[in-house]
Amino acid sequence: MNAVVTQIGDLAEAGEKMVERLRRKAFLPDSRKELNIRFGIAEAAQLLGCSTNRIRMAEEDGRLPPAPPTENGRRPGYKVEELLNMRQVLGASPERAPLDIPAIIAVQNFKGGVGKSTVTTHLAHYFAVQGYRVLVVDCDSQATTTTLFGFNPHFNIQREETLYPYLSIDPTQVDLLYAVKHTAWPNVDLIPSNLELFDVEYELAAAGSDGGSVLAARFRKLKQGLMDLARHYDVVLLDPPPALGTISLAVMQAANALLVPLAATTPDFCSTVQFLSMMDQVIGQLQQAGIEVDYQFVRLLCSKFDSNDPSHSMVRAIMEQSFGPALLPIPILDSAEISHAALRMMTVYELEKPIGTPRTHKRCRANLDEAMGQIEALVRQGWGRVAPAREEDIVNAA
């Protein structure tokens, strides 16, 4: 083999070792990701839509565990598990009703560098903070989302733990329960991915060349498997490959909503237009083949938006003119805090304290809450409900 070609394998091996070193450094001695964030009583009350007095009263009368012990006269705050328990006790859970259809959202764009996996993980953690039960399915063999959840796809994930045993031509699994892994978040589960998932593309492409029946069966199988799992969750987030392959098509058909992230640059805009045109053609072909595609909503989300860059503002204006209400009004701002968190293989929602300045962190977190809240509102509209009214707002209105 050519020496230069051999070098590619050496580069890959060296890179994988560095990823593992970074992961071990980020996730402490046992190399498992931990969730150490806490919420003060004021923030907890805001998330639950109630007053701080209501929480204190529930702690005093025994409905809730005693308040966390103080450190230097200050409460250290509530863990996510405690927050979830508070929601149940105080009737502040946003969980869907049994007859509501779980939201199965594909986060997709064929243009790389738009922050697809970053949007997916931040959206998952936003929903988690709000109290929803979330399943994230990494369908991309590059496995960026799997990495952000604290797993090294090269060292920690086997092919048998991905979608492969379920979607392969010779499947060894009849449902997807085998692949579900718990994460550091108590209400977020993950189906991970790794490079070997790409073998499904080869197998299904080969099967498709002999006729579309095997391909169609796999499409329907993924949808059925996800629907079976979704009964245990409120929101399912799908992160497909950034290319038009068999897995991407299966994911597009399995989803009941589509979120398209795109950056505010002319190449990203043009690429996204091509993506939407291609999707339109593919969906038509799938429907002709008897494979239904039905979305509750399709929205575009501008990511990595720099409000101080005139070119970004110009491109965003073009997006608004072209896409109208399908473009979500609040973009995700380009922030060093997101980049700094990603370097630690985390999202902003996992940070115990600001990495940059407190002002930068607060601005970034507020923007993410607003941007992700738009998607939460769409999900709740699909259930025939709007966001629950806050107790303080009701009192003030009276």
Does any domain span residue 293? yes
Residue 65: predicted pLDDT: 92
User: Among residues 89, 120, 149, which one ends one of the domains?
Assistant: 89
What distances in angstroms separate CA 83 from CA 58, 92, 156, 188, one per listed residue? 13, 10, 30, 14
In this predicted model, which residue has the larger pLDDT, 218 or 317? 317
Query: What local confidence, expressed as pLDDT, does residue 216 receive?
Result: 74
Query: Of the candidates 30, 55, 89, which is a domain's last residue?
Result: 89
289 and 388 part of one domain: yes
The alpha carbon dihedral of 204, 205, 208, 209 has a sign of negative
Task: Clarify whether residues 306 and 328 are in a common domain.
Answer: yes
Q: pLDDT by residue (tens digit) across 230-269?
A: 999 999 999 998 887 888 888 988 999 999 999 998 888 8
- Model pTM? 0.88
Same domain, 76 and 116: no
- Tell me, yes or no, whether 322 and 384 share the same domain: yes
**What average pLDDT does the segment 330-335 reach?**
94
Q: Which of 72, 67, 73 is nearest to 39 (CA)?
A: 67
- 213 and 142 in a single domain? The answer is yes
- Please tell me the distance from the alpha carbon of residue 41 to that of residue 51, in angstroms, as a whole number: 9
Q: Which domain holds residue 70?
A: 41-89
Highest-pLDDT range among 18-32, 163-177, 204-218? 163-177
315 vs 9, residue with greater confidence: 315
What CATH number has the domain bearing residue 287? 3.40.50.300
% of the chain exceeding 90 in pLDDT: 56
* pLDDT greater than 90 at residue 293: no
pLDDT tens figures, 43-90: 999 999 999 999 999 999 999 998 878 777 677 889 999 999 999 999
SS3 39: strand
| pLDDT recorded at residue 98 | 92
- Here the tokens at position 128 are 């988690």
For the beta sheet containing 257-263, the strands, ordered from the edge strand earlier in sequence to the opposite edge, are 181-182, 188-191, 134-138, 235-239, 103-107, 257-263, 298-303
Number of domains forming the structure of the chain: 2
